[in-house]
Amino acid sequence: MPYREKKAWITLVTLIVIPSIYSFYMVRAYHVADPDYNYLFHLLTIALTAFIAFQVILLFIAARFSPDDPRGPLDERELLIELKARRIAYFVLMALVLLATFVMIHLPSHGFRSIWGYGNLYLSALVGAEIVRFAMQLVYFRREA
């Protein structure tokens, strides 16, 4: 398995696991009468830190055990795979951002509480598009292997 495919697997798994755990705890803490925004901010900070730490550690391990050089240039096949996956992810991102904006416009707002919720909707749109991007990269890697 080439290094870039390992990188896509690592990123896909961390993009699914870390935001899922964050979302579970965020929803429980957010949907109360008076949410603690300091706790929510710390939860977001912990999730981002955990994501970065897992990415760095797992990519370092993958680079150490990779037969090819991870710093090598992209060949045409890998470049085409990346471009195809980015194109699909772009359309998914636009659809999710439009959906989040629709929710923002048509639901009643409750001050800062709504801003935090809308921000998490847009964050979810970004994460969803990245999940699609790396999933499509894996599909193209497997299809053209």
Choice between 125 and 72, residue whose per-residue pLDDT is larger = 125
The answer to whether the beta carbons of residues 8 and 138 sit under 8 Å apart is yes
Q: Name the residue range of residue 64's domain.
A: 3-143
Distance CA 45, CA 36 (A): 14
pTM of the shown model: 0.88
| Identity of residue 30 | Y
Choice between 117 and 98, residue whose per-residue pLDDT is larger = 98
Q: How many domains does the chain have?
A: 1
